[in-house]
Structure 1
């Protein structure tokens, strides 16, 4: 279903990967010696940007060099991804991935990069459920009432999400399938602007992250209806899962990781992964992550290589049975 181009960049990556073994020891010994840029393919204010900003300062201190965040947003998270796929595989340009990286191959034909062969894993950072919130004017207090209202007003409701291929996008598709509703998706460059659309009354619903939606739920700007997955989350006490509220099948969770251009030496990637793990275990950082709804994972580069391929394959298989391009 999805095709990838064989480019000079892929060929160059293969050559670099083949020679990486000769430069790895020296590279790891001297790394890092300069600023590390982490490209975020989302706008500020969403879950992808929020998590790396929590980690930015302590990670800079741990690595001994500045960690620079470079936001390159677009509704499909393709621009920033392609940029990193063409970067030097030296560990100084990294990529903050979210669900779109693993799901876009099943949604977008002819991507300008190959997510399997143009990237290598550094670490899977964290996961978190998606939360469904609605504007206070929508006359629904729970999932059942929302589904009834949507069915009584077909085609009249819209939900905002953080971009094509994002967990917040796929959660909305799963909701429509499970509930038998026709709620129109509206894509934004991240969950931050998508949440603002609900606050401004431009859309009625929002599938978003806890880190961005949580403060507005607490302030009463939006009403939380339910969470994806099978468990409630301590950051949103009293908010049930959609499944517990009578709507099984909305199971997707948000995931975030760090990847590097293909050919980046394993030893260099391990330096970053180890630093991330140590930072996430710091009590103050762990508390910030928990309060923002993130559940740390901190896998090894080898583990994230396997995780990435598994997630990509999973969504390619899902796309054979379900139209994910809504």
Structure 2
């Protein structure tokens, strides 16, 4: 809180002017306290955490783990709001149009930087129309196969695919999603021909690879690990640059002969463009505090996340780099814009 301006009070005024003096003094004090009072009153207003994904998704799981501690760190309750649709464009549009007062933050993932290369008409700029706050962390994807597939590692899978061009298939969570690009990146790096079968979300995708309706897919490690450990799915390789504690014996795809293959799933906190620096810093420190809470940290680690909260300027640079990187992947995959 700023110090009140010093008040020069002269000798008592003649009777009859006391009311005027008290009114003027009260106005000065009220004016000086106004910013602090406004913040104190606003602190009861919930922080809206807008998610451009459905409830039960990976990003939603992260948000609901963090929300209570983030609200506590910022001195206001945090409410998670899901606005799925149009590949994330519906919810992100709400973030972009939100008040620039720190009362609304968004949580986005890889699809935010993929969409500019997949959709022709997006009502916002993925970089210029948001204020990046920080990352939460990154988590690997796992290339899994149904046990009926005669391959136990990347080398065997590549050999099988080259021996039977076009005979194998993989599923994804939808055209243009990060799981689609993860598979297409593998196809490109391995120089194989594998058929794509798109689904509407990771849930149906996982169900069908478990049931053998499709042969393989990239899915989140938190989803894959229990099925791999139970023997219901076979893990072929990890998408990240390092191994994961969730499946410590599983080699990365890069380790298995495709050294350029590295792709993580990530989650970041953003606000609308033009968010004041003070609000950006407050939100950044709030996220850092929330993630540092032991229960929150442990829950995120259990989901396979490697935690990292870079400052806003570094996060903004990351977003710009990822937009270009994803554009290259989309072009390699030969995806047509919708």
Q: TM-score range by the shorter chain?
A: 0.7 to 0.9
For 2:121, the equivalent position in structure 1 comes to 110
Q: How does 1:93-242 map to 2 (within 5 A)?
A: 93-242=104-253
Structure 2 contact 237–250 (Cα < 8 Å) conserved = yes
- Of the structure 1 ranges 65-74 and 136-145, higher mean CA displacement relative to structure 2 is found in 65-74
Q: Larger radius of gyration, structure 1 or 2? A: 2
Alpha-carbon distance in structure 2 between the residues aligned to 1:221 and 1:27: 56
Alpha-carbon distance in structure 2 between the residues aligned to 1:160 and 1:65: 42
Cα offset, 1:312, TM superposition: 1.9
- Of the structure 1 ranges 83-92 and 113-122, higher mean CA displacement relative to structure 2 is found in 83-92
TM-score by length of 2: 0.79
Q: Of 317, 321, 326, which residue of structure 2 is paired with 1:315?
A: 326
Structure 2 contact 181–333 (Cα < 8 Å) conserved = no
For 2:335, the equivalent position in structure 1 comes to 325
User: 1:36–1:200: structure 2 CA closer, same or farther, 3 Å change rule?
Assistant: farther
For 2:293, the equivalent position in structure 1 comes to 282
Cα offset, 1:172, TM superposition: 0.7
Superimposed CA distance per residue, residues 231-269 of structure 1 (whole angstroms, 9 cap, x where no aligned partner): 211221101111212233321111210111113222223
Q: Secondary structure at the match of 1:175?
A: helix
CA RMSD for the aligned pairs?
2.7
Alpha-carbon distance in structure 2 between the residues aligned to 1:218 and 1:24: 56
Superimposed CA distance per residue, residues 264-298 of structure 1 (whole angstroms, 9 cap, x where no aligned partner): 22222322221211121122222222221101111
Superimposed CA distance per residue, residues 73-123 of structure 1 (whole angstroms, 9 cap, x where no aligned partner): 346222222232223333333221111112222332232221122211121
Q: Secondary structure at the match of 1:78?
A: helix
For 1:9, the equivalent position in structure 2 comes to none
Superimposed CA distance per residue, residues 37-92 of structure 1 (whole angstroms, 9 cap, x where no aligned partner): 22222334443222222212322333343322223334622222223222333333
Alpha-carbon distance in structure 1 between the residues aligned to 2:301 and 2:317: 26
Alpha-carbon distance in structure 1 between the residues aligned to 2:142 and 2:42: 39
Alpha-carbon distance in structure 1 between the residues aligned to 2:140 and 2:124: 28
User: 1:201–1:72: structure 2 CA closer, same or farther, 3 Å change rule?
Assistant: farther
User: 1:248–1:55: structure 2 CA closer, same or farther, 3 Å change rule?
Assistant: same
| Alignment length (residue pairs) | 303
User: 1:220–1:27: structure 2 CA closer, same or farther, 3 Å change rule?
Assistant: farther
